[in-house]
């Protein structure tokens, strides 16, 4: 299989620049990547804010200082102490995020902003509705996430918005998602590249890679061609 990295090595594998605004879109693994990237960058001495422009589980702030509806002054002070998770409010175990405008403004104040900019209802793959994802305009890197456990599984059973996935993949929603079909969704302008800012880089992250999925992941990476892609193993050493 093409080289896959452990979650602990993701930050290095992404080859991030000195200042990044990262938007995570697509399917399963976005919250884990948000935490991994944010904490890793903070350990490298950067001032980091994590947030969402949609909703996420309120238990995703381990390792962060939590701020609710913060002022700019509170953001600036908190990031000097470590990574910050900034939400507008928490309701019923769900954290409600902030606006893309806030994310853009915070990017002027800190080194990195990492945003979960999409929802997938805990499914490993999706295609967006016309109002998704919610990507800040100053995003420098948009990462579309697909869980390897979507490959070879029936689209209607395993994907969020299965009719849209099937339409872009060029197949029925009641067939198994092929690596080639997944690649078509990931590369389509109305698929994973929807709402990509003109100045942003684009990357695919394949999560939960293991021995059972490695053959399909190889095929997916081949179908993605020159698109920047990182495969992430399902376990750490």
pLDDT in tens, 183-200: 999 999 999 999 999 999
Question: Could you give the maximum distance between any two Cα atoms of the chain, in Å?
Answer: 52
pLDDT at 205 over 60: yes
pLDDT in tens, 16-35: 999 999 999 999 899 999 99
Segment 63-88 shows an average pLDDT of 97
With 90 as the cut, is the pLDDT of residue 144 above it?
yes
The confidence score (pLDDT) of residue 78 equals: 98
CB 105 within 8 A of CB 136: no
Q: What is the pLDDT of residue 14?
A: 96
How high is the mean pLDDT of the chain? 96
For the chain, percent of residues with pLDDT exceeding 70: 98
Q: 229-233 and 201-209: which strand pairing?
A: parallel
Angle of the 179-187 helix axis to the 214-224 helix axis, nearest 10: 40
Q: What is the pLDDT of residue 234?
A: 74
What average pLDDT does range 170-188 have in this prediction?
Answer: 98
pLDDT digits (tens, 9 = 90+) for 44-62: 999 999 999 999 999 999 8
Structure confidence at residue 1 as a pLDDT band (50, 70, 90): low
Residue 237: what pLDDT? 41
Task: Give the model's pLDDT for residue 89.
Answer: 97
Q: What is the mean pLDDT of residues 146-162?
A: 98
Sign of the torsion angle spanned by Cα atoms 123, 127, 130, 131: positive
pLDDT at res. 28: 86
Give the chain's domains with CATH numbers: 4-233 (3.40.50)
């Amino acid at each position: 299989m093409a080289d896959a990295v452990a979650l602990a090595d993701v930050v290095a594998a992404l080859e991030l620049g000195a200042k990044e605004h990262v938007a995570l879109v697509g399917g399963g693994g976005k919250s884990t990547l948000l935490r991994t990237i944010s904490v890793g960058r903070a350990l490298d001495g950067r001032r980091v804010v994590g947030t969402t422009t949609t909703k996420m589980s309120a238990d995703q702030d381990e390792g962060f200082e939590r701020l609710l509806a913060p002022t700019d002054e509170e953001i600036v002070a908190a990031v000097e102490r470590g990574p910050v998770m900034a939400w507008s409010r928490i309701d019923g175990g769900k954290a409600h995020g902030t606006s893309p405008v806030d994310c853009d403004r915070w990017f002027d104040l800190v080194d990195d902003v990492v945003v979960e900019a999409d929802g997938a209802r805990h499914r490993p793959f999706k295609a967006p509705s016309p109002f998704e994802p919610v990507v800040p305009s100053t995003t420098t890197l948009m990462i579309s996430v697909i869980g390897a456990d979507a490959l070879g599984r029936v689209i209607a059973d395993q994907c969020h918005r299965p009719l849209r996935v099937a339409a872009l993949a060029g197949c029925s929603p009641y067939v198994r998602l092929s690596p080639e079909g997944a690649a078509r969704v990931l590369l389509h302008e109305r698929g994973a590249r929807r709402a990509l800012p003109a100045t942003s880089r684009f990357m695919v992250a394949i999560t939960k890679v293991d021995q059972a999925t490695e053959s399909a992941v190889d095929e997916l990476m081949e179908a993605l061609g020159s698109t920047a892609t990182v495969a992430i193993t399902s376990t750490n050493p």
